[in-house]
Chains A and B, each alone.
Chain A
């Protein structure tokens, strides 16, 4: 009985070993870990797979084939940490792309730092991630510290300082509301007229909205995930909060579902993001068209960030792999240094992206230019307009 068990478990272990050791020495290996549960999550995965397949079709990078290893972390830190460890030690990748959720990226940082593997973040915005001071982490999206600044400044200076907040217990939504409350306190000395955290999976926000309405605010901040943002917007009109009260949402509002489902209620909503589908630059127009035709959705900022990430990773890998020695540790350092050497990358993002050598947040929060966007029309044929952009100094908001 016991003997059988031991034999069985060793069998399984060795099977695992054998599977992991199949790989070519010459390849460049890219590991990916992010949330691939939802529809959009899968599409981000497809975008990476397609792009890398294209690179390989074009002859690879410096003649080297690119190996892509794709893992799902389901937005769970346990899985994210396991993925990072597996990618670093077992799959022996040169660079890791991930993750979507801040709560997953956060514990991945110490893992990849210890393993000395560079990691480049497509989506996580929490400012805590880069504040750990790791020399191996790079962030493409705009850090929450800049979002807070731009949103706070814009709101206070253009819309009003009497603000009511309703937010849901999701990390990004909470951080957005709380950091903004803190910023208004520190910068302008104003307290919120009303602030409340809704319950998890709540769908009826009318009681909160009524209370918010009673405080007579100039601005109402509605911070939630896509579905909740839509509901809050629609319900805010149902309880009779007039159009003159400005509605502010977090970067979730850049997702297509918000204007499509909220319809008229989306008009006038202001949010900050790193990319707007209404961007009129030719590069942006081309990108929107490509994503629409290939994946059937209008890209929000998370698609654009993924594209930017891949576009800047390719030259960095080209530069680094020219010097590849075959020694994994040295090659990873080369990749890290090549990414750190990226300056003024102009892609789809609203501003140039630059990194630098040391591990401080000033160096590693690459994008410092959030853009303020306003919906000018809701429904299926929604339209946005850019309300303004600001480029911050690297140390702002720390």
Chain B
């Protein structure tokens, strides 16, 4: 198992944002996490990536390491990369610098080499830059490399965030609503690029997405959260027919026709 959580809990005051979630993810899989607003999807990401500290009794394991109490940068260094719902781009940095800062954990040279500015630093920097430019051209942002990230359009920003998360060559990539706010055409494009990247870098993916179509089309398995609890897990078609899931989304049972309408958004 690449990622494993056992008894994962997080309460904000009295509210149980995540309640005893057991989660297992084998390498190579594309996992979707769905659930209504406030069901704890983003909290789950924040717990795994170390932004929040889980409550006592929880256990998170990534790639054989216990990461329950590790700070975010150590988790990142282990090869767990993520994007954010609110993007969190480095607005005031150039596009290429955005991506290159994602490369941070893979930089090989030592601190003192950098201070003294030895030749090998500049050679490596050039290599890094070339590699990152390649990544940028893959996502179609190479022409914008020296512009400030704040000058990009919404769709370009989403691509940039994706490129930055991949720059570290992660084992696991967690995408928090990668397609939010995009037009259907752009969503398809984005998903195509994500799939290409997955094949190119051999990624394991977890995707949170509101657009159910995306999840149903691309994911191998789907985990459904509601009120912080895992209510269902299985292949998209299994989940689609799960009564608990339907109830969580729509609040009542529906006949086949109604449901198809709801899911075909």
Direct contact of A and B (CB under 8 A): no
Q: Interface of A with B (CB < 8 Å)? A: none
Q: Interface of B with A (CB < 8 Å)? A: none
